[in-house]
Each structure stands twice: as structure tokens, then as C-alpha cells.
Structure 1
Amino acid sequence: MANKFGLSRNIPDDVKRAVRQHCGFGCAICGTTITEYEHFFPDFVDASKHDPKKIVLLCPTHHSMVTKGIIPKEKVQESWAQPAAKDLGYSKTEHPWFKGIPSLKMGGGPLVQGTPIPIQVRGTNIIEFEPPEEGSNLARISAKLQDASGNNILSIDKNEWRVLSGSWDFKCVGNRYIFLDKFNAPSLILKMNPPNWIAIELLLTSIDGIPVKVTEEKLMIGSSTFSGGLFSNCRVGFAFG
């Protein structure tokens, strides 16, 4: 989709990186690490180019408030000039940071350590961790959620929130990242305990029509239930199908 100047919504990678670096790799207003990109002065509809000095990182909650006019663009501009993430230094638990690949609690087994892809179903990486990019302390989290028909509905790509279908919401409560579906029910809950580990308290998705449920205690894939059996210090901790 392009605006009246023919500008695509797809922001080039080098521009995104410049925006992330400027904003301290977090929401300019609150510092949360799961983010989206927002144009300001001008808005995207009036922008003739993707100018990193006119694009800001915002968490889904603050992005929605800006879109609805609850937060004025003047506040966005102020936050761009003095990003919260840089002021906070990621010292608060609700803005976690991890050096390298974080350890993971899930599936009832011991702590999964040093494993970039903790769980894979039929070749699809349900959740993936990458080390921080240069200039950042933040591990990059990627995750994909699909509906019962296997349609991609939500993805987190290296800490960037991408809503693909339907109405979704995100909130940060204490040290938990909670992703809500269009019915306001949790589909993904991540509990952060920096700099030590992340716990998957809940992950609901579907791969090729097979329902998948992950909690701290067990993995449920179709009619099969697993507890334990995840491996550390390897590329993939658990693979099914």
C-alpha cells in the first residue's frame, strides 16, 4: 500500500536501523522493547520519503494511542528528541534486556540454555532468539502465531510487532509481556526475568491446522502432550513433525 506520493509502507532496513539506534531500541515514550514504526510531522500519508528523523519507535499501546489522537504528535516529537529507552537505560524490569541468547523456561523441563530456536513444529520456528545487534543490549525475540486454519495473524520479527490479521493488543504488566487476541484473550504471555531467563507462561498457535499450546509445565501439540525432553546448547531445543 502506497500513499499519494507513491511511498510504500515498507521502510528500508537501513532506515529502520537508524530509527532503532536513535530511540535506544525501545519505545520512545516508555522504553518497551516490542515496537512499531510511526511517522510524524509529516504523517505517513503526507510523507514523500522515509526520513529516520521523522520516524519514531513506539510500543503497540502508545502507537494505538497516537493513532487515536489520545497522544498528540507534539508529544511524539518530544519523545523522539529524548527517547525514554535511553533515559531508562533498560534498568526497569518492564523493559528487560538480556546479553546474548536468553535462557528459557517452558515445557516442564530444565532451563533451556544457549538454544536459538527452543521449539519448532513441522519446520516452523514458533519462537526464536537472536543475540543483540551492534549497539544494543537487547536480545531479539521473534515469534509467529497462526489461527486454526494456519493463517499468519501475528508475528514479532526481531522485536518488531507485525499484526497480520484481525484486531490484536499488547500490554506490559510488571515483568510480563501479554499479547491479546481480538477477543481480548491472551495468546502469548512472556515473563521476563533479566538478565537470567524468559518463561513462556502461555503460547497458543496452530501449524498446518495442528493446535499448539506451550506453558511452563508442558507442550501440547495436537493430541500429544510432552513434559521435559528439551535440549540446551543446540540450535533447536525441540522439534516435532
Structure 2
Amino acid sequence: MICGCPVFDYEHIDGFDVTGHDDTRMTLLCPEHHREKTAGRLPISLVERWNGNPFNVGAQFSKGHPLYYEPNSGIVLKLGNLHFEPKPGFSHLVGIAAFGDFALGVGVTDTGHPVIDIDIRDQKDRPLFIVKSGELRVAPVNWDVDFVGTKLVLRSAPGQKVLDIALEATDGAVSVKAADFHLHGVHMTVGTKTKTGGFELPEMDGFWAQLTMRGLGIAIGDVAPPGYWFHLPIPRPS
């Protein structure tokens, strides 16, 4: 409530020993502010003030949060049963791009460090969930974001998954179990949201499934990014 961090703890404002699990006297604090409150350095009056006027109300995005990714072995991006693997020494993102922006990808920085890039939007091209160069931001308009351990689920309504992803960093995998979203007017579905179990473009009647692409990405749009891409040269939807 105080800083807008998208990763938080549940906090009993008056203390659990006073109110128990009374949801009218509970709030959300990031781990840092939770620690300050528990230690007595953050007054209850300030917590109550921010609880009545949360940081993210009216904000386009939450505060940025680092999304750590340090695989022990080779990098792989899994979109359902469609897998992307880089060639040795690659310097470009692998995954899906639409009109120059990467919807789902994994790449490396100039220093050789791997990062995750995600751009999930709604039908009106309003950003819902963004990861740029390893920093995560969430739009408060989402109905629910569930980030527990290394698994993240984004929902637009009860039972409606927009994104279901697991960061299996021990084996280098970024695994998208399900996704149903838009980017720049292009509708995309992944995994359990598809008929084939891979990656589909419903509006274009195209799909990729049960393949492993090495050193290759799928670029949607009038111009392909530089490098090694499978290019779908289509005009940007109006």
C-alpha cells in the first residue's frame, strides 16, 4: 500500500494477537515495510493512512520489481509445447515479437546476463503486465495477480487466466503454461489456451506446435527485428 511494490506480505495492522484474521484490519505491505512495521519503526497511524489511500490507486503501473533470472544451464523459452533455444553466443532475444516489441522473450544484456522480456496487453492495447530488461511492472487494473514462489498467474476475471508462467531457473527454462493476450492489435494464445498446445495466432489462423526453434524467433509485423527471425509480414491492425 505504501510503495506500490507488486510483491507483498499480508499484514495485521494492529497485530495478529489483537485482532486475529480480521480482514477489515489487514493490509498489504512489501517485505521491507513489513519488516519496519514488525520492528516498531513504522507507526500504525502511517500504515492506516496509506491503507486508506494506496500507492497504486490511479497509477498506470506498480512500482518496478526485479525479476531475477540466473539459469544454471542453457536458456530455453517454452510456449506450451513450442520451445525456443538460442544458438551459442546469441545476442538477440528469442521468442515472439510484434511490430518491434517483444511479447514473450528471453535475451542477454550487453554484459552477457540473461533477462526476461514480456509485454502483455488487452484488446485496446493497454498494457497489463510488463517485464523490460528483467524489471517487472503490473497494471493495477488487473483483476488478480498471483505470484507465489517462481510461479506467476495473471487473471482478467475469476477463472480467466491471461498468463500462467513458471520461472524454472534451475534448468534455464522460462515456461509459459498458458497465455491469452494481445499486443498491438495481434491476438495470441499459448499452451492450454490453444488447440495445438503450442503458440497460435487465432485471428490469422496460424500456429506452431511441438517444435524446437534454435537461434530463431517469430516476428509479426511489417518489419522484422535484426537477426535470425521467422517473419510474418502483415500490416499493423487498425
Aligned to 1:181: 156
Q: CA RMSD in A?
A: 4.0
Partners of 1:200 and 1:71 in 2: CA distance:
28
Aligned to 1:54: none
Name the one with the larger strand percent. Answer: 2
**2:137 aligned with 1:162, yes or no?**
yes
Aligned partner (choices 187, 194, 204) of residue 211 of structure 1: 187
C-alpha displacement at 1:101, in angstroms?
A: 6.9
Partners of 2:38 and 2:109 in 1: CA distance:
27
Aligned to 2:71: 98
Aligned to 2:18: none
Q: Is the 8 A contact 2:85 2:212 kept in 1?
A: no
What TM-score results when the alignment is normalised by the length of structure 1?
0.53
Helix, strand or coil at the partner of 1:118: strand
Aligned to 2:103: 126
Q: Is the 8 A contact 1:107 1:219 kept in 2?
A: yes
C-alpha displacement at 1:223, in angstroms?
A: 3.7
Aligned to 2:215: 233
Letter in 1 for 2:35: K
Deviations 1:109-147 (A, max 9, x none): 4x311162311223331122233787xx98421211111
Q: Is the 8 A contact 2:11 2:34 kept in 1?
A: no
Partners of 2:118 and 2:12 in 1: CA distance:
25
C-alpha displacement at 1:66, in angstroms?
A: 10
Q: Is the 8 A contact 2:144 2:155 kept in 1?
A: yes
What TM-score results when the alignment is normalised by the length of structure 2?
0.54
Aligned to 1:140: 115
> What runs of 5+ residues in structure 2 fail to find an aligned partner?
14-25, 40-67, 87-91, 217-226
Going from structure 1 to structure 2, the CA distance change for 1:129 and 1:76 (only over 3 Å counts) comes to farther
C-alpha displacement at 1:201, in angstroms?
A: 0.9
Going from structure 1 to structure 2, the CA distance change for 1:121 and 1:192 (only over 3 Å counts) comes to same
Going from structure 1 to structure 2, the CA distance change for 1:208 and 1:71 (only over 3 Å counts) comes to closer
Choose 1 or 2 for highest CA Rg: 2
Helix, strand or coil at the partner of 2:214: coil
* Aligned positions, number: 169
C-alpha displacement at 1:63, in angstroms?
A: 6.6
Partners of 1:169 and 1:175 in 2: CA distance:
17
> What runs of 5+ residues in structure 1 fail to find an aligned partner?
1-37, 45-56, 80-94
Aligned partner (choices 94, 97, 117) of residue 117 of structure 1: 94
Which segment is superposed worse, 230-239 or 119-128? 230-239
Q: Is the 8 A contact 1:107 1:226 kept in 2?
A: no
Aligned to 1:3: none
C-alpha displacement at 1:219, in angstroms?
A: 1.8
Going from structure 1 to structure 2, the CA distance change for 1:107 and 1:225 (only over 3 Å counts) comes to farther
C-alpha displacement at 1:180, in angstroms?
A: 2.5
Percent of aligned pairs with the same residue?
Answer: 12
Partners of 1:199 and 1:74 in 2: CA distance:
31
Deviations 1:48-98 (A, max 9, x none): xxxxxxxxx95x24078699744483515889xxxxxxxxxxxxxxx8631
Partners of 1:132 and 1:76 in 2: CA distance:
34
C-alpha displacement at 1:238, in angstroms?
A: 4.7
Helix, strand or coil at the partner of 1:181: strand
Partners of 2:107 and 2:74 in 1: CA distance:
6
Going from structure 1 to structure 2, the CA distance change for 1:101 and 1:204 (only over 3 Å counts) comes to farther
Aligned to 2:8: 62
Letter in 2 for 1:215: G
